[in-house]
Amino acid sequence: MSVRERGGLLRSRDFRLLWTGETTSVLGSSIAVVALPLVAVVTLQASTFAVGLLTAAAWLPWLLIGLPAGAWVDRWPKRPVMLACNTFSMLVFLSVPVAAWSGLLTMTQLLVVALAGGTAKVFFNVAYRAYLPSLVDKEQLQEANEKLQGSESAAQIGGPGLAGLLAQGFGAVTGVLADAVSFGISVLCLRSIRYREPARPAKARSRLRDEIRDGLTFVVHDRYLRVFAVFGAVSNVALMGYQSIEVVFLARDLGVGPGAVGLVLALVGAGGVFGAALSGKLAARIGTARAFVLCEGFGALMMLLGPLANGGWGLAYFVVAGFALSAGVVGSNVLNATFKQRYVPAAMFGRVTASMSVLSFGAIALGGLLGGLLGELAGVRQTLGLMAGLEVVAVFALLFTPIGRCRDFPADRV
């Protein structure tokens, strides 16, 4: 039975299973976000550019298959897609520790694993975001997103710390093994959900390219979604250019050990819990659109502190900057996701989400490459400063768009 039939989120067994499975999977992925670069840096002695390339490979599939993925997901039931994606991801990431323990691990395999895992993530993310509005009532979407984003942020606090401890005690590849296990737990949770999506009315199936065009047209002609897509792309270049080299900055430039790297990134991730919890209250007080801009602006300005970090107590600059950035990004993500789930028609949601994500998530691949390349050529600290500056410019430009000029996001498309 769906949440809307049961009368509440926490009373619903199905929502609790979705919440548990996704949180566990995010915990594993947040371990792998640190573990994979550590494997590359510590085990394989990879260059800064190679580490940036590893991040780019994980997000490149959005550029390659994002548009058709959205159209395909709109045709299919969402839960089976999510099950297939997480099963595939479990097997892919399991190959890393197996190869490492056999003495066969190479940088090429890490890149292939990142690319394959990123491909599964494209389909999973589109299906997951389309599945939630069918599971919960429209009035409960804000609360559902707050709970999901809040627990995911909490998982991201523990993930880096666990990655550091695992790397310190058992080797970095054990963090990748933990990610594979987390996908397995998520699969079990998804399989246990009893709710089934209602069958869609039978209709003549149009050509794939026509369905893709419909999704793109919907975004291009909508003044709010168009801004979100462009802003998300520029912002993601800056954020991923920054984040793709932060492990290198901590480990090589500041001389922080693997265990301490995990602890620092865990403290940074704690900001996400704060941001998720605050977003709803902030939106109720000043409006959803204004709250979105405020969250983004606060995170961007504080991001400028990160490159000022140095050894000892100077590391606090990096922690404060990361905490504030995490709070701002997660808070704005809650408001953004809730707006789109209420605003976009269910039959178009997969294509619209994919159309926007191809630009915004595809930019993450560019950001990873740019961060690695500039870090190699100009220096890691200097690159962190450039990326922080780009994020500030992107948020400032947002003030002159329809989003920056309104108090609340519209509830329905006009």
Q: Which pLDDT value is given to residue 157?
A: 67
Q: How is 152-168 classified by DSSP, letter by letter?
A: HHHHHHHHHHHHHHHHH
Q: How many CB atoms are located within 10 Å of the residue 345 CB? A: 10
The CATH fold assigned to 10-195 is Growth Hormone; Chain: A; (1.20.1250)
Cβ density class 14-34: b for 16+ within 10 Å, e for less: bbbbbbbbbbbbbbbbbbbbb
Q: CA 400, 404, 406, 411: dihedral to nearest 10 degrees? A: 120
Please choose, from the candidates 271, 270, 250, the residue with its C-alpha nearest in 3D space to the C-alpha of residue 259: 250
208-413 fold: Growth Hormone; Chain: A; (1.20.1250)
Q: Judge contact between 147 and 277, C-beta under 8 A.
A: no
SS3 of residue 345 by DSSP: coil
**Whole-angstrom Cα distance, residue 390 to residue 408?**
26
Residues 90, 176 contacting (CB under 8 angstroms): no
Q: Which residues of 379-396 are buried (b: 16+ CB within 10 A; e: fewer)?
A: ebbebbbbbbebbbebbe
10-195 with 208-413: one CATH topology? yes
| Burial environment of residue 332 by CB neighbours within 10 A (0 to 12, 13 to 18, 19 or more) | buried
* Nearest CA-CA partner of 369 in 387, 355, 389, 357: 387
Give the span between the Cα atoms of 189 and 206, in whole angstroms.
34
Backbone angles phi, psi at 44, to 5 degrees: -105, 0
User: By the 8 A CB rule, do 258 and 167 touch?
Assistant: yes
Determine the Cα angle at 351 with ends 348 and 352, to 5°: 75
Q: How many CB atoms lie within 10 A of CB 2?
A: 17
How far, in Å, CA of 79 to CA of 174, rounded? Answer: 29
Which amino acid, residue 25?
S
DSSP string, 204-269: PPPPHHHHHHHHHHHHHT-HHHHHHHHHHHHHHHHHHHHHTTHHHIIIIIS---HHHHHHHHHHHH
Q: In degrees, to the nearest 5, what angle opens at C-alpha 170 toward C-alphas 168 and 171?
A: 70
The whole-number pLDDT of residue 348 equals: 87
Q: Is 312 left (phi over 0), alpha (psi -120 to 50) or beta?
A: left
How far is the C-alpha of 238 from the C-alpha of 247, rounded, in Å?
A: 16
Q: What is the pLDDT along the chain (414 residues), one digit of tens a residue?
A: 445 444 567 788 899 999 999 899 888 887 887 788 888 887 788 887 888 788 778 878 888 888 888 888 888 889 999 999 999 999 999 999 999 999 999 999 999 999 999 999 889 988 988 888 888 887 888 888 888 877 877 776 677 667 777 877 777 788 899 999 999 999 999 999 988 887 666 555 567 788 888 888 999 999 999 999 999 999 999 998 998 888 889 988 888 887 788 788 778 878 888 898 889 899 999 999 999 999 999 999 999 999 999 878 889 999 999 999 999 998 999 999 899 988 988 888 888 888 888 888 778 778 888 888 899 899 999 999 999 999 999 999 999 999 999 999 997 665
Structure tokens at 313: 């107590």
Instruction: Find out whether 177 and 48 touch, Cβ atoms under 8 Å.
Output: no
- What's residue 128's pLDDT? 87
As a whole number of angstroms, the distance between CA 76 and CA 321 comes to: 41
Query: How many CA within 13 A on the CB side of residue 199?
Result: 3
The pLDDT tens digits of the residues spanning 180-236 come to 999 999 999 999 998 888 766 655 556 778 888 888 899 999 999 999 999 999 999
Buried b (16+ CB within 10 A) or exposed e, 297-328: bbbbbbbbbbbebeeeeebebbbbbbbbbbbb
- Listed by start position, the domains of the chain span 10-195, 208-413
- The DSSP letter of residue 344 is S
For the stretch 284-300, pLDDT in tens is: 999 999 999 999 999 99
DSSP 8-state symbol, 346: G
